[in-house]
Amino acid sequence: MMMERLPTKLWVEALVRRAQVAGAAAFVLQKGDAERGDVLIKVARLDGTAAVYVPSMNMEGERIFIDLRVQGIGPEEATVDAHVRKARDRDPDLWAIEIEDREGEVLELGISANRADLLSVLRDCVARWRIGKGDWHYCALHGGVMTVENGDTIRIACREGVLGTDVATLEAEVRRHREAVAQEASRGRVSEAKLHARAIRQIMTHLSHDQNISVETALDEIFQ
């Protein structure tokens, strides 16, 4: 049985209260469709930077917020504001929310200490983590598996991963990695073709010498 979707108006009201309880200021910039409107959330850090999020659900049915910095939107606040304006103009049913939060952590729904043990399959995604109040670290993952053990140990096994110091540079690193992989694959195909051609020449030589036949006849023998 499918669960009824919570009306957007009630969801937004709960989000605003959550932000206020956390000590942040929250404002509704645009009211959209009360029942089914989509939501766009701007988080301003009050230092000229900001991020914009869209709510979604993960594979376990848990609420997550997708950071649009992975699409190159932000962290400059002017870039985020331009994106929000275009979205509001394009969709009159959209709810637009702004949260002022210096730490930028009101929407953090990541894995924290004492989390229950977890095993989860990862699609292509970007992992972000930090230790304490240290710097954030980023890694673009090409699929994989994540485990959480004893509430304090997180392990990720993936087929490919590209590290970056921030979201802005991570995209460039991923692009360079993909180009390198494509070039390596191309070189592999060329080497394979050369090896195949060399093997055919050697077989032709042996056939023509051992059986005293022409090259054309040797080719017929190979490809019969």
Domain count, the chain: 3
Of all residues in the chain, what percent carry a pLDDT higher than 90?
11
Its domain, for residue 143, covers 111-165
Amino acid at 191: S
Say whether both 115 and 209 belong to one domain. no
pLDDT of residue 88: 92
pLDDT, residue 11, reads: 84
190 and 123 co-located in one domain: no
Question: Cα separations (Å) of 80 from 11, 43, 106, 160, 216?
Answer: 22, 9, 17, 30, 68
Residues 184, 84 within the same domain = no
207 and 131, same domain (yes or no): no
195 is a domain residue:
yes
Q: What is the pLDDT of residue 8?
A: 86
pLDDT (0 to 100) of residue 154: 80
| Interval 137-150: pLDDT, tens | 888 888 788 787 77
Report pLDDT digits (tens) over 106-144. 665 454 454 456 677 777 777 777 777 788 788 888 878
In this predicted model, which residue has the larger pLDDT, 167 or 75?
Answer: 75
Judgement on whether residues 7 and 41 belong to the same structural domain of the protein:
yes
Residue 206 confidence (pLDDT)? 62
Strands 39-44 and 95-100: parallel
Reported confidence tier of residue 169, pLDDT bands at 50, 70, 90: confident
* Strand 144-149, strand 137-141: pairing: unpaired
The answer as to whether 154 is a domain residue is: yes
pLDDT at 87: 92
Residues 4 and 101 in one domain: yes
68 and 100 share a domain?
yes
The count of C-alpha atoms lying within 13 angstroms of the C-alpha of 210, restricted to the half-sphere facing its C-beta, is: 7
The reply to whether the predicted model has a pTM over 0.85 is no
CB atoms within 10 A of CB 75: 19
